[in-house]
């Protein structure tokens, strides 16, 4: 059985941190350009600091941290944060390889969108690597539209990312 819930306890947050590290490892292995982008934007010291502050950085009401479990085992996560008064961003959506095919990523995105809507945001944004074809297909199937970058991104990185937006 799959369950999507806010990560609130120390054990939940520890599971999310581990899943985020697994996601970083996944990105490093996805392609040489994904590894380069990951190491440029999230070198280990910076990522470690981010993981150490994950509970406060996404504290309500600015965002949410979600944990997905399958048969009571942590298998996925996603989080949102405010970009501005009208826009939330989904970050670190990840489902462990052994848990894929159960619709967990779709459920995580749906929960992120529902919470952002409840929080009063009118749109939700995200980005992903061009190499992550299943992620791109999911976002398109869920009604996201491709758009240009919504943050400052170095010109040499832009061709390797795809940006998405959905109205809430």
Closest CA to 92 of 42, 143, 29: 42
Domain count, the chain: 1
CATH assignment at residue 122: 3.40.630.30
CA 52 from centre of chain: 17
Range of the domain at 126: 2-167
144 neighbors 116 (Cβ within 8 angstroms) = no
Predicted TM-score (pTM) of this structure: 0.94
pLDDT band at 23 (very low <50, low <70, confident <90, very high): very high
Cβ of 98: how many Cβ atoms within 10 Å? 9
Calculate what percentage of the chain has a pLDDT beyond 90: 92
Q: What is the DSSP string of 57-69?
A: HT-TTTEEEEEEE
55 has a pLDDT exceeding 70: no
Pairing of strands 87-95, 73-82: antiparallel
């Amino acid at each position: 059985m799959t369950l999507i819930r806010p990560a609130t306890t120390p054990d939940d947050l520890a599971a999310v941190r581990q899943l985020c590290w697994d996601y970083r490892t996944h990105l490093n292995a996805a392609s040489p350009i994904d590894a380069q982008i990951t190491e440029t934007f999230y070198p280990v010291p910076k990522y470690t600091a981010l993981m150490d502050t994950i509970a406060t950085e996404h504290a309500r009401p600015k965002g949410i941290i979600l944990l997905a479990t399958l048969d009571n085992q942590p298998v996925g996560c996603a989080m949102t944060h405010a970009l501005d008064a009208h826009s939330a961003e989904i970050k670190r959506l990840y489902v462990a390889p052994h848990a894929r095919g159960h619709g967990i990523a779709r459920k995580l995105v749906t929960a992120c969108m529902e919470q952002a809507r409840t929080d009063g945001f009118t749109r939700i944004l995200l980005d992903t690597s061009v190499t992550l074809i299943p992620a791109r297909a999911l976002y398109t199937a869920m009604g996201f539209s491709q758009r240009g970058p919504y943050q400052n991104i170095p010109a040499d990185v832009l061709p390797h990312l795809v940006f998405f937006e959905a109205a809430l």
